[in-house]
Amino acid sequence: MKRIVIALAVAAVLVAGAVSVWNMTGDGSVATASGAEHVVPRDKVEEHAKEDFGRPFSGDAPDAVSCPRGLRAEMDDTVRCTAVFDGERKPMTVSVTGVDGDQVNLGFGVEKKSE
């Protein structure tokens, strides 16, 4: 019985560690900011959101994404977009999760409810 409890505790620690690493690695989407205002243009934000949101699960990708503006190359800058999944419109948030010069890491989130 004691061995089972220890084995379960070890498994829980390993799973928690794997989830933490997965959450810290980000979405793997990197865009380039440009111009005097150091901004990722709106069309590039939409492109990355459409192409990179579902990775590594390609079946989760939206059919289209529409955003009102681009993103400033500043931590936590956020834009609320609309993503279309199989004809259903859902709110999508695209955020800056990291900045290294003009390389901007993007994170994506989709609300479960429809607009």
Encode pLDDT of 17-30 as tens digits. 433 333 333 446 99
Specify burial of residue 10 (Cβ count, 10 A radius: 0-12, 13-18, 19+).
exposed
Residue 7 lies in a domain: no
The number of folded domains in the chain is: 1
Residue 13 lies in a domain: no
How confident is the model at residue 74, as a pLDDT? Answer: 96
How confident is the model at residue 2, as a pLDDT? Answer: 72
Rounded Cα–Cα distance for residues 44 and 104 (Å):
11
Average pLDDT, integer, range 86-113 = 92
pTM of the shown model: 0.71
Say whether pLDDT at 62 is over 80: yes
Residue 36 lies in a domain: yes
Domain interval for residue 80: 27-110
- The string of pLDDT tens digits covering residues 33-42 is 999 999 999 9
Q: Between the CA of residue 56 and those of 44, 61, 84, what are the distances in Å?
A: 20, 10, 19
Burial 60-74 (b: 16+ CB within 10 A, else e): ebbeebebeebbbbe
Residue 4 lies in a domain: no
